[in-house]
Amino acid sequence: MMQPIRSALVSVYYKDRLEPLIRVLAQHGVQLYSTGGTQKFIEELGVPVTAVESLTGFPEVFGGRVKTLHPTVFGGILHRRHEATDVAQAAEHQIPPIDLVIVDLYPFEETVASGAAEADVIEKIDIGGISLLRAAAKNYRDVLVVSSRDQYEAVTTLLTEKQGATDLADRRDYAAAAFEATSHYDTHIFQYLSQGTTQHGAALKVSQKPATPLRYGENPHQQGTFYGDLSALFDQLHGKQLSYNNLVDVDAAVLLMQEFQADGPAACAILKHTNACGVAQAGSLHEAYLNALACDPVSAFGGVIIVNQVVDAATAGELNKLFFEVLIAPDFAPDALPVLQSKKNRILLRQKPVAFPQKQIKTLLNGIIEQDFDKVVEGAHEFRTVTESAPTAEEVAALEFALKICKHTKSNTIVLARAGQLLASGVGQTSRVDALRQAIEKAKAFGFDLQGAVMASDAFFPFPDCVEIAGEAGIRAVVQPGGSIKDQDSIAAANQLGMAMVLTGVRHFKH
């Protein structure tokens, strides 16, 4: 059913991109109603416009908090043109129909993100705008609603092609978009006011946009979409579009590198299928990368690499010898970037500082599970020595380093390391003994001598076998959470082998 637009209410926060749409409406003789700054904008275009207060007979009050909340405005939007009673009441109360509503919402999310004071944030909770959108969307049988400046160009084209009219399918589509906008808006207000708690009805409310379709999901037969603003976190300087699997690995890489501060030693991590296959710290980024690569150059092929310092030319030259999918860095030296851009599909990401969500969310069965991010990092101050021998200062540094990697590795996991270098890890095993044996075999395969190395475990040892196997391999110090009813058996085994063991009291399962 084609519906000509004869009148429109225009009240927007952002005026950019609005002019072409206003001029198309003017060309079709549409009666425009507006408020405040939008009214002034339209007048400066030389287009006739009527102030809403002239329509309602009531001025804006309370500093603009109330201007469109009036029966004349909402009656003009909500009355049903096909209902004789509605039409008669509109005529009786001199309520003219409003066929088009163009409204965007106050920038609530942007104001929160800016760190503004609470009073300023509250003032950006839109009341009139969101009510207008909901009213127009509800009555989409008769009214077209435009809820974002991102729609202006498409609506301008639509009205040009259809000579100032729309059909029911058009209005329904834009109504759905309006309710998406209001739902997203209310979700972020709820999250701000509840401060991340779920006490009000214990409901999980999440709304992320924009939506970016991916080539496919985890496998080619699965569809995939990313919801969120990657441009807020990365500048992509080169390469193809990030895939679903790229994004999963990039997420793991970014979270791991958060353990290594930018103002500390140069650090490099190489990940494959979300697990680190190489991690190192050194006096230079070039050295850190080479040490990380040495851990497992086979698995590094096709992986994701992340560093905590600017990539210089020397490091770029070494990186360029390896096939990898993604490189993430805080920046790239001018003479390093062309070297790395020599491979067409290689993805180069410059990471920006950004706050991450406080919660992790995952679909499960017929619902969703949520948890806090694991932000706990145990250092030497949390280590409790339980053996006759205490770890040396160098071993303590190695244990701290190993524990950072262990925290971000799939369970069951064992990490073998020296201070500043991952030697090997056993990941995702159903047995902790298997994880340890896998780590030992990998370390030997790549030429590492485990004499004097350290071991980290993501959970306690239920039996002393892991300590015994590690001791036979040359491991001299162990860090684990403790908490097993047989802790003393593992401690006794460590004492017998002359090993040092510290407990943290914190488990780091990662499923």
The 10 Å CB-count burial string (b at 16+, else e) for 16-49 is eebbebbebbbeeebbbbbbeebbebbeeeebeb
Angle between helical axes of 152-161 and 19-27 (0-180°, round to 10): 20
User: Are the CB atoms for 188 and 109 separated by under 8 Å?
Assistant: yes
User: Are the CB atoms for 13 and 107 separated by under 8 Å?
Assistant: yes
Length of the chain: 511
| Active site members | 138, 273
d(CA 129, CA 181): 11
* Nearest CA among 349, 458, 477, 463 for reference residue 403: 458
* Nearest CA among 355, 354, 319, 318 for reference residue 238: 319
* Nearest CA among 460, 508, 468 for reference residue 486: 460
**Half-sphere exposure at residue 430, Cβ-oriented, CA atoms within 13 angstroms:** 0
User: Are the CB atoms for 360 and 206 separated by under 8 Å?
Assistant: no
The 10 Å CB-count burial string (b at 16+, else e) for 316-342 is beebbebebbbbbbbebeeebbebbbe
Residues 6+ apart with CB under 8 A from 277: 270, 271, 295, 296, 299, 300, 303, 425
Question: Which structure tokens are listed for 51?
Answer: 């102030």
Residues 6+ apart with CB under 8 A from 287: 266, 280
Residue 268 has φ and ψ, to the nearest 5°, of -140, 135
